[in-house]
Structure 1
Amino acid sequence: MNRQPVKVLIVDDSAVVRRVVSDCLGDRPEIEIVGTACNPYDARDKILNLAPDVVTLDLDMPLMDGLTFLRLIMQHRPMPVVILSSLTATGSRIALEALQAGAVDIMEKPSASRFNPEEATVLVHKIVAAAASRVLGPHPELNSSLLRKVGSAERETRTFNPRKVILIGASTGGTEAIRQILAPLPPDLPGIAVVQHIPAAFSGPFASRLNELCRLEVREARHGDLLRTGTVLIAPGGRHLALRWTGSAYEALLGDGPKVHHQRPAVDVLFESAVKAGAGPHALGVLLTGMGADGAAGLLRLKESGGESIAQDEASCVVFGMPREAIKLGAARQVLPLKNITTAIDQFADSRAITAT
């Protein structure tokens, strides 16, 4: 049975951007452009009249900014929204706020008068994934009571076998899932390596935002970084992240190799590198929300090499793609709702931990 094309409304105050996005999507059989809008008020009327499946939304617009309009959409008519943002520092920060407000994904605007073929493919992928997503609406703020949930102040500091490592992979919907997992965690954890499918312009601000929220130290990975206790390394957008054992610690290796599952960074690259580095029996792999199959095969290899493995459950995923493929392969020892994964990570860390005296 042929699937109906995804109906898209393009919202941007720039006529040039509306044309560029329309040209990019117009000849794609899986996409139907049902309209364009030059401001949120125009967009509001067209959402009601045209019933699009997905909205692409600019953030910097007259009359009403895109973030305010997004919040109104999520309040009155929740639907999948893909943010098209500028590459400025302010634009990146607001784009991340939009993900917390309920947007499904983000992408940088084209730097030229058209999308190149690779950018066009990425945009189509994001829109199709958005159409398949579960719109969860605004994500909760992390208040102080939630941040005290895992790791009480009275507990003695733990130390770990330096081989112990935690690996997390995610795609669509993953930025907020990762935020909700990491923010309540205590600082005495084995090193954590994260691959999130995210544009290069946003991975640095994403890591900085997490670092402000977390008791762990979070930063964008650099080539040669050592993955230490209490540290989270986020793969840079556009670069693969792999781990290598140096004899005393895991070293982060960044690469520009071919895309895997149409992604760079790819979750499978991280997971499989950890297996090759001998991390298997000491590793926990966590595969979160996202479209496609990236990470499923790597999670299976981690499990087969003696590691622990978790897949996010369907009900809490924005897109139940990557976890579903892992479950189908038998790669997940546990299938957990998002709200339980933080505790599971802390329990993994606690197993065979050495308590400081």
Structure 2
Amino acid sequence: MTRKITVLCVDDSALIRQVMAEIINSQPDLQVIGVAADPLVARDMIKALNPDVLTLDVEMPRMDGLEFLEKLMRLRPMPVVMVSSLTERGSEIAMRALELGAVDFVTKPRLGMRDGLLQYADEIGEKIRAAACARVRAVPPRGAALAPAVATAGIEPLRKPFLSTEKLIVIGASTGGTEAIREVLQPLPADSPAVLIAQHMPPGFTRSFAQRLDSLCRIQVKEAEHGERVLPGHAYIAPGGWHLALGRSGANYVAQLNQDEAVNRHRPSVDVLFDSVARNAGVNAVGVLLTGMGRDGAAGLARMRQAGAYTFAQDEASCIVFGMPREAIALGAVNEVRPLHEMAGAVLGHLSTFGERVSRV
């Protein structure tokens, strides 16, 4: 018999503890081995029960969830899925939790708590499974993740950056992707080619994500808006609940948003973005597939490569979850596999040599 993934649920609400336990125990491969009403009780239970995954509320008595998460990831790193309120403050807290090392988060509904959470049962199960196989690392020193963008050693600047403003960078990511995307975007120069990003994230959270990145990067980062022109020096993030695609208006690239059916169970879907780039940018695009559970983006990256784009995938050792890059590599969709810390330099290096090749034609 296959061993079940064990979970400890930490929440000050008895109702939430009960519903989370009901949801998790209903999954054949998951088991709640304990519940705790606050982090201090949880600390002792972690030592005694050694769970595979922790689900952690944010607002709790005696010690809030972020403070506990920071201590936990410094002293005993383990997979954590945060349980966050679907509010503006909740979205900011969720982003901070991901910085501190949480693998992912689920949202508490504002109304009808029990029924609302039950509707998320499959998603909660999927996130716990992803967390269980995640590579968890110790948290950096306090404040390090929020440092402003600085010059990065080994990053080669674009020598001929805009022989063509048609060049594009497109990025897809899921579990673990928020910090991976930050690490790719921070070294990019202010005159970087435009960047389009599909990160699996629910509605209400991508704005905080974009604002945080905008404060850390040289390029301008924002949520994409339907019909806006895609410009160099900018990164456009697919809003939660919307597909982002690349379109054309005359000679210009434009962002297109739609709420068509989910693809690979996701909206935004990486495949939707990559397919549109294959059609409308071809050889002018560079595709980057980062950490994530599942296979979204693998087929789209293959179609980008077939259309002449150059493609990268994050390597296994630096991924939180290697699922999406693994699928793309297996499909033959990837020109280069790179560790995360080399990705920005590799992308810029390819674009620089691309510019030189164009200038010789």
**TM category, shorter:** over 0.9
Aligned to 1:205: 208
The answer on 1:276 being equivalent to 2:279 is yes
**Alpha-carbon displacement from aligned partner over 1:313-336 (angstroms, at most 9, x marks no partner):** 000000011001111111110000
Aligned to 2:128: 127
CA gap 1:276/1:152 in 2 versus in 1, 3 angstroms: closer
Aligned to 1:105: 104
Contact 2:305/2:333 (<8 A) preserved: yes
Comparing 196-205 and 311-320, the one that deviates more: 196-205
CA distance in 2, matches of 1:80, 1:87: 22
CA distance in 2, matches of 1:341, 1:152: 9
Contact 2:191/2:232 (<8 A) preserved: yes
Aligned to 2:302: 300
Q: CA deviation at 1:269?
A: 0.5
Aligned to 2:243: 240
CA distance in 2, matches of 1:268, 1:40: 39
Query: Among 320, 323, 348, which residue is 2:322 paired with?
Result: 320
**Alpha-carbon displacement from aligned partner over 1:112-161 (angstroms, at most 9, x marks no partner):** 32236652211111110000111023257268796212799998883242
Comparing 279-288 and 257-266, the one that deviates more: 257-266
**Match of 1:114, SS?**
helix
Q: CA deviation at 1:165?
A: 0.9
Number of residues of Structure 1 aligned to a counterpart in Structure 2: 353
Q: CA deviation at 1:105?
A: 0.6
Aligned to 1:179: 182
CA distance in 2, matches of 1:125, 1:97: 22
Q: CA deviation at 1:89?
A: 2.1
Q: CA deviation at 1:250?
A: 1.4
CA distance in 1, matches of 2:157, 2:258: 42
CA gap 1:138/1:284 in 2 versus in 1, 3 angstroms: same
CA distance in 2, matches of 1:135, 1:164: 35
Contact 1:190/1:349 (<8 A) preserved: no
CA distance in 1, matches of 2:118, 2:166: 42
CA distance in 2, matches of 1:145, 1:70: 23
CA distance in 1, matches of 2:147, 2:56: 32
Aligned to 1:285: 287
Q: CA deviation at 1:20?
A: 2.3
Aligned to 2:253: 250
CA distance in 2, matches of 1:144, 1:11: 30
CA distance in 2, matches of 1:257, 1:155: 37
Percent identity, please.
Answer: 47
CA distance in 1, matches of 2:106, 2:157: 43
Q: CA deviation at 1:162?
A: 3.0
Aligned to 1:25: 24
**Match of 1:124, SS?**
helix
CA distance in 1, matches of 2:66, 2:354: 46
CA distance in 1, matches of 2:52, 2:158: 49
Question: TM-score when scaled to structure 1?
Answer: 0.93
CA gap 1:261/1:139 in 2 versus in 1, 3 angstroms: farther
Query: Among 186, 195, 199, which residue is 1:196 paired with?
Result: 199
Moved over 6 A (4+): 143-146, 150-157
CA distance in 1, matches of 2:260, 2:154: 39
Q: CA deviation at 1:167?
A: 0.4
CA distance in 2, matches of 1:125, 1:61: 25
Query: Which segments of 5 or more consecutive residues in structure 1 lack a partner in the other structure?
Result: none
CA distance in 2, matches of 1:136, 1:152: 24
The answer on 1:7 being equivalent to 2:6 is yes
Query: Among 162, 166, 170, which residue is 2:169 paired with?
Result: 166
**Alpha-carbon displacement from aligned partner over 1:209-256 (angstroms, at most 9, x marks no partner):** 000001101001111121100010001111111111222221111111
Contact 1:81/1:105 (<8 A) preserved: yes
The amino acid that maps onto 1:198 is: M
**Match of 1:351, SS?**
helix
Q: CA deviation at 1:57?
A: 0.5
